[in-house]
Amino acid sequence: MWGWIRSGLLSIIEKTRPHYLPEDVYTRIRNGTAWLYVYAADGDDIGFAVLTQEHDPDGLVLFVWVLWCEPGSAVVRLPEMYAETEKLAQQCKAVRIRMQSPLRGWERQTFFNKVAAVYEREIGQL
């Protein structure tokens, strides 16, 4: 299964250029500081989320660190995936679900509300 997950992670990394490698995700899952949730439909694995817990002043936040689906799968299954993710958040007594992505397509989704923009500046080697 790791090969499938790693392939999905590499696909995300290619599109978004984050500051992590697939092995960083693997390590966090193995250490228990991140959790893997696999989405399935009709007996087939169609995608996965890597989740972490964050804390806001008013309670626990379920943070969707990584979300990936087989190409074409999310189009028809996204509402089900959102419902499953919300159920997970309720089970861990989270007050909200948070996700961060540089991909502008998420602005068209109604499940998440855009609440901020993140700006960074890389600091070069001296």
Q: Is 58 inside a domain boundary?
A: yes
Cβ contacts of 116 within 8 Å, gap of 6 or more: none
Within-domain flag for 25: yes
Q: Which amino acid appears at position 59 of this protein?
A: G
pLDDT band at 46 (very low <50, low <70, confident <90, very high): confident
Q: Among 45, 28, 85, 80, which residue's Cα sits nearest to residue 61?
A: 85
Residue 91: domain span: 2-108
pLDDT at 126: 63
d(CA 122, CA 104): 22
Whether this prediction's pTM lies above 0.75 is answered by yes
User: For residue 117, is pLDDT > 80?
Assistant: no
Number of domains in the chain: 1
Contacts of 78 (CB under 8 A, 6+ apart): 109, 111
Axis crossing angle, helix 2-16 with helix 22-31, rounded to the nearest 10: 130
Question: The CATH number of the domain where 82 resides is what?
Answer: 3.40.630.30
